[in-house]
Amino acid sequence: MNEKNKNLGLAIVKKNQLLNQVYENTFSAFNIFKTKAKNIISELANEHSAKDFLFSDKGEFEFDIRFGTDVLIFSMHTNVFEFSRLHEVMKLPYIKEDKERSFCGVINIYNFLADSFDYRREDDLGYLIGRVFINRDNHYFIEGKREIGLLYSNFNTAKINEEAIENIICSAMEYANNFDLLTPPFEEVKVITAGQILALPTHRKQITAKRLGFEFKQDTE
C-alpha cells in the first residue's frame, strides 16, 4: 500500500473512532435521561394523580413524558454533527485548542399538547424547546429557550451527569407548563373548508398549537 492510501486509511479509522466515542457518550446520556424521566414521573404520579403523569418508552432513541396537558418528547439523533464555522461555539478557546471537541451528538426535546395525540390531530404543531449537544469529553451545552438553555461559553466546564440531566428534564417540564395555549388571531382561523367540516370530527377541524399565528420574542432573538 502506498503512503497516500495508508494515511487515508489511518485518517478514516481515527475519524470513525471519534464519531463512535461521541455516539457512545450521547447514547449513555440518553439512557440516563430515560431513567431519570421515568423516576421523576413516577414520583409525581405517586404524589398526585397517576393519570396526570405518564412515561412512555418508544424504543432505543425516543421516549415521552406526559404531565397535565403537555407532552415532552425526548429524541436522540443517531448521527454525530459538527457545527458550522460561523457558529459561536467554534470561537471558543476550548474548541480552537482541539477541533475534535466540536463533534457532538444531539438529544432533541419537543413540546406538544397531549390532546394532539389523544385526538389524533396530525396537523397540530409542536415546538423544539431545547437540544442537548454532547461531545467526546462528555461536555455539553443546550440550545433552546432561555429557561432551559445553558450558554455555550460553559461548554469547556459543563459535564453531562445525572444531576445535570435531572435539572434539564425539570426545567423543560417547568417551561412547558408555563408555556400556555393562547387563542390564535381571528384572521388565522376565520376560514375553513366544507371538506374539513364534512370529513373531520369537531376536535380535528383546525390546527392547534400553543402559539399558532404568533411570533414570540425568544424566537426572534
**Residue 9: pLDDT over 80:** yes
Does residue 212 belong to any structural domain of this protein? Answer: no
pLDDT band, very low/low/confident/very high, at 217 (cuts 50, 70, 90): very low
List of residues 6+ apart from 54 with CB closer than 8 A? 41, 45, 65, 66, 67
Is pLDDT larger for residue 148 or for residue 209?
A: 148
Q: Which range, 29-38, 180-189, 206-215, has the best average confidence (pLDDT)?
A: 29-38
Distance between CA atoms of residues 46 and 70, nearest Å: 18
* pLDDT in the model for residue 54: 97
Task: Work out the average pLDDT over 6-16.
Answer: 92
Does residue 155 belong to any structural domain of this protein? Answer: yes
Is pLDDT larger for residue 31 or for residue 184?
A: 31
Does residue 197 belong to any structural domain of this protein? Answer: no
Number of domains in the chain: 1
* pLDDT in the model for residue 112: 92
Is the distance from CB of 135 to CB of 80 less than 8 angstroms?
A: no
Q: Nearest 5°: CA angle at 214, between 209 and 215?
A: 120
Q: What is the largest CA-CA distance in the chain?
A: 71
Distance between CA atoms of residues 61 and 59, nearest Å: 6
Does residue 153 belong to any structural domain of this protein? Answer: yes
* pLDDT in the model for residue 190: 62
Does residue 198 belong to any structural domain of this protein? Answer: no
* pLDDT in the model for residue 119: 85
Distance between CA atoms of residues 176 and 114, nearest Å: 12
pLDDT band, very low/low/confident/very high, at 4 (cuts 50, 70, 90): confident
Q: What global pTM score does this model have?
A: 0.85
pLDDT band, very low/low/confident/very high, at 214 (cuts 50, 70, 90): very low
C-alpha dihedral sign at 177, 158, 41, 57? positive
Give residue-wise pLDDT tens across range 133-149.
999 999 999 998 766 66
List of residues 6+ apart from 182 with CB closer than 8 A? 210, 211, 214
Does residue 163 belong to any structural domain of this protein? Answer: yes
Does residue 149 belong to any structural domain of this protein? Answer: yes
Is pLDDT larger for residue 195 or for residue 62?
A: 62
Does residue 221 belong to any structural domain of this protein? Answer: no
Q: Which amino acid is at 176?
A: A
- Say what percent of the chain tops pLDDT 70: 79
Give residue-wise pLDDT tens across range 76-113.
999 999 999 999 999 999 999 999 999 999 999 999 99
* pLDDT in the model for residue 124: 82
| Residue 96 lies in domain | 3-181
